[in-house]
Amino acid sequence: MVNSICFLGPIGSFSHQAATMITGEKELIPKGTITDVFNSINDKECHEGLVPIENSLEGPVNETLDNLFYKNLFINLEIEVPINLVLASKNDKFNIVYSHPHAIQECRDYIVRKSLDKVIPVESTSRAAELASVDPNAAAICSEMAARIYNLRILDRNIEDNVNITRFFLISRKETKEGNKSSLIFTVPHTSGSLYHVLGKFYEEKINLSMIYSRPLKSIPWRYYFYVEYEGNKNERLLEKLREVTTSLSFKGSYSKFLNNNSGF
Amino acid sequence: MVNSICFLGPIGSFSHQAATMITGEKELIPKGTITDVFNSINDKECHEGLVPIENSLEGPVNETLDNLFYKNLFINLEIEVPINLVLASKNDKFNIVYSHPHAIQECRDYIVRKSLDKVIPVESTSRAAELASVDPNAAAICSEMAARIYNLRILDRNIEDNVNITRFFLISRKETKEGNKSSLIFTVPHTSGSLYHVLGKFYEEKINLSMIYSRPLKSIPWRYYFYVEYEGNKNERLLEKLREVTTSLSFKGSYSKFLNNNSGF
């Protein structure tokens, strides 16, 4: 293990694209699921992992939130990647288009405008690119990176209907305590006003919350844990105040946003 | 349209099961997606619709929340359905098992214990039952209702690993103002403590929140709307107070839980 990063695969996925943005000399290892990425870090197979946390249209990535809740790992860096999709193929002429159901959804206007009527859903946009690379009658809706990996010609760029950004996290076993933002996960007592009292502690300390998501506790139906991101570093005084009004509290790391001149890849 | 209910299909789905629990003489119409159910009510093709809102393990059903946010429809009734899965087939001997990926996930321990090693994911548990009805070498992991519809023999019941309950909503164009619970959707100003101030109004009025979920506003990245359920009827004083601290506010109906003696179906 020489400073390796595992990511949510396959090769050519948007997680792969995010990993290459920060990678330097590190070894990149694709994994089949988000949970596999977390397990690889826990088991010390990998040093760090790259997983999606939230999409600007679809919302949170539940598998990432649940792994952050159940595992003692930390967020070290945030990377925003615009989800730009391309239409790509071996030939100019094709009669089938492969893509992932989400990508098909996101290009619905384009598909109607271009009268692409035979659109086949497959398990990933990378798989779509792979299929188009071996079928001369097929095209793929995929990332520019996947099109390049499978030697496809790009026929059209930015074919998605809306601005669509995914945030990724670089995670590891190392707790980082400084950055523009920090993440916490907590549960609250089953009493009236419990979440209100927790948010009151942030307000007292003049700390801005940038996001709050709730997720079910799998052990008890209709009970929840909360994931929040706030502006600023790890703050011991805030944590001490929050301990008074929560039933469990985990600090999940402070981190800044990775800046890249060519974020469009 | 004689009092028809549309539901998230296909025939034999858990939404179908929930619909049959309350149906009486009403006509039941399967729809391909949750959005299709909402559109059918909006377009007055159907009187009412039956959609899943939340699962005790997986969390909220985003497509339902987003449709509640974007469309002027109301919740009239809540139905809880335990997600009990069965193993069913035409014959005692089989070498393939079909099911939906979520159902496979939920029966992972059972699959290992019974050494079912050839498990094939398909698009729904109903489709799995249909496949098992025409292939004498196949079994399905599906609902008991789907097994009955496709004339399969039930080999094992309650094969899921964990308690797993899905809540469904009956929705319509009619606003109902009384029930054990009510739902609201709101957005807050982009200022410090804005959600805290909203929750404060519930606390002042001694109204218990039973759930809060946030979802992205598709129009502006990293801004959110909030969906909450609270205990009690429509409350005009609460709504008036909330209007002072929200940027938009929609009342989505008051409703009670449908009670059924044989909730296991």
Q: What is the pLDDT of residues B24-69, one digit of tens each?
A: 778 999 998 899 999 999 999 999 999 999 999 889 999 999 999 9
* Residue A32 amino acid letter: G
Would you call B172 helix, strand, or coil by DSSP?
Answer: strand
Q: Do B216 and A62 touch (CB under 8 A)?
A: no
Q: Does B224 touch chain A (CB under 8 A)?
A: yes
Omega into B10 within 30° of 0, i.e. cis? yes
Q: Is B175 in contact with A231 (CB distance < 8 Å)?
A: no
Q: Span B138-164, mean pLDDT?
A: 95
Both structure tokens of A97: 């288009």
Q: CA B225, CA B216: separation in Å to the nearest integer?
A: 6
pLDDT digits (tens, 9 = 90+) for A176-197: 999 999 999 999 999 999 999 9
Q: What pLDDT is attached to residue A169? A: 98
Location of each CATH 3.30.70.260 domain in chain A: 177-253
**Burial class of residue A31, CB neighbours in 10 A (0-12, 13-18, 19+):** buried
> What does residue A60 show for φ and ψ, rounded to 5 degrees?
-75, 155
Dump pLDDT digits (tens) for A75-101. 999 999 999 999 999 998 999 999 988
**Can you tell me the distance from the alpha carbon of A195 to that of B103, in angstroms, rounded to the nearest whole number?**
33
What was the pLDDT predicted at B2? Answer: 59
List the single residue in B59, B196, B202 with the smallest CB-CB distance to A203. Answer: B196
Return the structure tokens found at A204.
């007292």
Rounded to the nearest angstrom, the minimum Cα separation between B42 and chain A is 22
pLDDT beyond 60 at B5? yes
Q: Determine, for residues A59 and B222 on separate chains, whether the beta-carbon distance falls below 8 Å.
A: no
Averages of pLDDT over runs of 10 residues in chain A (265 residues) are 84 91 87 94 95 92 94 97 95 93 88 92 91 96 95 96 93 97 97 97 96 93 96 97 98 92 44
State the DSSP string of B28-44: EEEESSHHHHHHHHHTT
Q: What's the rounded Cα separation, in Å, for the pair A254 and B234?
A: 41
Three-state DSSP state, A240: helix
The string of DSSP letters for B172-230 reads ESS----SSEEEEEEE--SSTTHHHHHHHHHHHTT--EEEEEEEE-TTSTT-EEEEEEE
A95 touches chain B (CB under 8 A): no
C-alpha triplet B1, B143, B265: angle, nearest 5°? 75
Residue B94: φ, ψ to 5° = -155, 155
Across residues B127-139, what is the average pLDDT? 95
- For the A1-82+164-174 domain, the top CATH level (class) is alpha beta
- Please state, in angstroms and rounded to a whole number, the distance separating the CA atoms of residues A194 and A225: 12
**For residue range B70-92, what is the model confidence (pLDDT) as tens digits?**
999 999 999 999 999 999 999 98
CB–CB of B119/B104 below 8 Å? yes
Strand bridging mode A48-55 / A5-8: parallel
* CATH 3.40.190.10 domain locations along chain A: 1-82+164-174, 86-156
Report the gap between the CA of B53 and the closest CA in chain A (Å): 12
ipTM of this model? 0.89
Residue carrying the six token digits 């969390």:
B59
Q: Tell me if chain A has a CB within 8 Å of the CB of B193.
A: yes
Rounded Cα distance between B201 and A142, Å, is 47
Show the tokens assigned to B199: 């929750």
Question: Helix-strand-coil percent breakdown of chain A, rounded to 5?
Answer: 30, 35, 40
Nearest Cα neighbor of B141 from B87, B100, B91, B83 is: B87
The residue of chain B with its CA nearest to that of A228 is B214
Residue A260: the pLDDT is: 65
Query: Mutual orientation of helices B62-70 and B34-42 as an angle, nearest 10°?
Result: 20
Residue B163: pLDDT over 60: yes
pLDDT value, residue A60 = 93
A177-253, CATH topology level: Alpha-Beta Plaits (3.30.70)
User: Is CATH 3.30.70.260 what the domain over B175-255 is classified as, yes or no?
Assistant: yes
Chain B residues inside the 8 Å CB shell of A211: 214, 222, 224
Q: How far apart are CA A156 and CA A84, in angstroms?
A: 11
Cβ contacts (< 8 Å) between B211 and chain A: which residues?
214, 222, 224
- Give, in words, the CATH class of B86-156: alpha beta
| Architecture of the structural domain at B1-81+165-174 | 3-Layer(aba) Sandwich (3.40)
- State the pLDDT at residue A51: 95
- Residue intervals in chain B for CATH 3.30.70.260: 175-255
Check CB contact of B70 with chain A, cutoff 8 Å: no
Q: What distance in Å separates residue A27's CA from the closest CA in chain B?
A: 31
Contacting residues of B for A224, CB less than 8 Å apart: 211
Which chain B residues are Cβ-neighbours of A58 within 8 angstroms? 62, 216
Rounded Cα–Cα distance for residues B111 and A184 (Å): 36
Interface A–B counts its CB contacts (< 8 A) at: 74
The confidence score (pLDDT) of residue A264 equals 41
Contact B199, A195 (CB under 8 A): yes
User: Any CB–CB contact under 8 A between B213 and chain A?
Assistant: yes
- Mean residue pLDDT of chain B comes to 93
Identify the band that residue B264 occupies on the pLDDT scale cut at 50, 70 and 90. very low
**For residue B263, is pLDDT > 60?**
no
Rounded Cα distance, B179 and B109, in Å: 39
Q: How confident is the model at residue B213 (pLDDT cuts 50, 70, 90)?
A: very high
Q: How confident is the model at residue B147 (pLDDT cuts 50, 70, 90)?
A: very high
Smallest Cα–Cα separation from A223: which of A91, A77, A83, A69? A69
User: For chain B, where do the domains classified as CATH 3.40.190.10 start and end?
Assistant: 1-81+165-174, 86-156
Phi, psi of B124 (to 5 degrees): -155, 160
User: Which residues of A fall within a CB distance of 8 Å from B162?
Assistant: 218
- Asked if residue A10 has a cis previous peptide bond (ω within 30° of 0), the answer is yes
Q: Which residues of B touch A163 (CB under 8 A)?
A: 221
- Torsion-angle region of A158 (φ positive above 0: left; ψ -120 to 50: alpha; else: beta): left
Q: Cα B116–B121–B123 angle (5° rounding)?
A: 145
CB contact under 8 A, B57 and A218: yes
What single DSSP character describes residue B152? Answer: P
Closest CA to B229 of B263, B193, B256: B256
**Lookup: tokens for A146:** 């996947």
Rounded CA separation B228/B250 (Å): 11
pLDDT surpasses 90 at B19: yes
